Amino acid sequence: MSPRWLVKKAARQGLALGSWASGSMRARRVLSRGPRVRVVTYHRIGHEPQEPFCVTPDAFDGHVRYLAERELAVSLDDVIAFVAGRAELPDGACLVTIDDGCVSTLTEALPILARHRVPAVAFVTASLVGLKVDALPEPYLGWDELRELAASELVEIGSHAYTHRSLGLMGAEDARHEAFESKAVLERELGREVRSFAYPFGTRSDFDARTERALADAGYTVAFNSMHGAVRRGMDPISLPRIKVEGGEAQWMFRLLAQGAMDPWRVVDQNLWRLQRVRQEIVG
Ligand SMILES: [Zn+2]
């Protein structure tokens, strides 16, 4: 185990346990206006030790089973209706999302989702479909495989931009192209409407009012960034936060994560953004 890995895991576990033990989770639930639901983010399902972007099939099965048994698994439709105030969802409900469109979304995640009848959204980068690069841990799904995934009627395909670059750091025209082109290509190839978008990287510098306008103009109903946080009724559907699930963490960590013990992590996200900005100002 590398020291950095251990320090980061200790910090996450410490925050989750501290939040749980201090009763602040319960206090937030009582004080918050209405239920909070969470959109959890995965990337790859497989066996890559000490890789935060990869969760083992056993761990993923445990997470999905936990949500299914407590009837906390919800669909994209449910989240859209909840944000708009048209539907009630239980506090602690979760939508599963899987970014990048890697092969394990079909080979590992889908059978587990199907076993527990849990819906999910897979965010796919249109220009990377079918790409195999030796340096990458997994190939990207091809068009036939994506059609198979969509045909399950359990996994909805969303856009993860056209080229997997930061929309916030590119020119306005390029960002609009990412939004429009990825939607057009995915819809043409899959024969289905693509109504959701997840920003590549999704940190505070990867989206802004301009990119949100581009997504709305392109016709997306809902868009997710990667800022850590819960989703509440009345939020702007084109700017929703998510919660990243990391590899190498125990089942109890996922339960606390799903119940909101890691919600204060958003402070870390916001301050990292400030630090980044300070650095940009110094560098010019
Ligand atoms: Zn990504």
Instruction: Report if residue 101 sits inside a domain.
Output: yes
Three state DSSP letters for 184-213: HHHHHHHCCCCCEEECCCCCHHHCCHHHHH
Please tell me the distance between residue 279's alpha carbon and the centre of ligand 1 in angstroms.
24
- State how many domains the chain has: 1
Please tell me the distance between residue 159's alpha carbon and the centre of ligand 1 in angstroms.
10
Please tell me the distance between residue 99's alpha carbon and the centre of ligand 1 in angstroms.
5
Please tell me the distance between residue 93's alpha carbon and the centre of ligand 1 in angstroms.
23
Residue ranges making up the domain that contains 255: 35-283
Instruction: Report if residue 247 sits inside a domain.
Output: yes
* Residue count of the chain: 284
Please tell me the distance between residue 206's alpha carbon and the centre of ligand 1 in angstroms.
12
Please tell me the distance between residue 26's alpha carbon and the centre of ligand 1 in angstroms.
33
pTM equals 0.90
pLDDT given at position 50:
87
Instruction: Report if residue 14 sits inside a domain.
Output: no
Instruction: Report if residue 11 sits inside a domain.
Output: no
Q: SS3 for 42?
A: strand
Kindly tell me the sign of the dihedral angle through the C-alpha atoms of 277, 278, 279, 282: positive
Other CB atoms within 10 Å distance of the CB of residue 5: 14
Instruction: Report if residue 4 sits inside a domain.
Output: no
In Å, what is the CA distance from 211 to each residue of 61, 136, 185, 224, 238? 35, 28, 19, 12, 10
Instruction: Report if residue 239 sits inside a domain.
Output: yes
E strand or H helix at 281, and its extent? helix 265-283
pLDDT given at position 11:
80
* CATH number of the domain bearing residue 90: 3.20.20.370
Instruction: Report if residue 104 sits inside a domain.
Output: yes
Q: What is the full per-residue pLDDT of the chain (284 aa) written as tens digits?
A: 677 777 778 887 887 877 777 776 666 665 666 789 999 999 999 999 889 999 999 999 999 999 999 999 999 999 999 999 999 999 999 999 999 999 999 999 999 999 999 999 999 999 999 999 888 899 999 999 999 999 999 999 999 999 999 999 999 999 999 999 999 999 999 999 999 999 999 999 999 999 999 999 999 999 999 999 999 999 999 999 999 999 998 899 999 989 888 777 776 666 665 555 444 444 33
Please tell me the distance between residue 127's alpha carbon and the centre of ligand 1 in angstroms.
13
Map tokens 């587990």 to a residue: 112
Please tell me the distance between residue 229's alpha carbon and the centre of ligand 1 in angstroms.
18
Please tell me the distance between residue 64's alpha carbon and the centre of ligand 1 in angstroms.
21
pLDDT given at position 262:
78
Instruction: Report if residue 235 sits inside a domain.
Output: yes
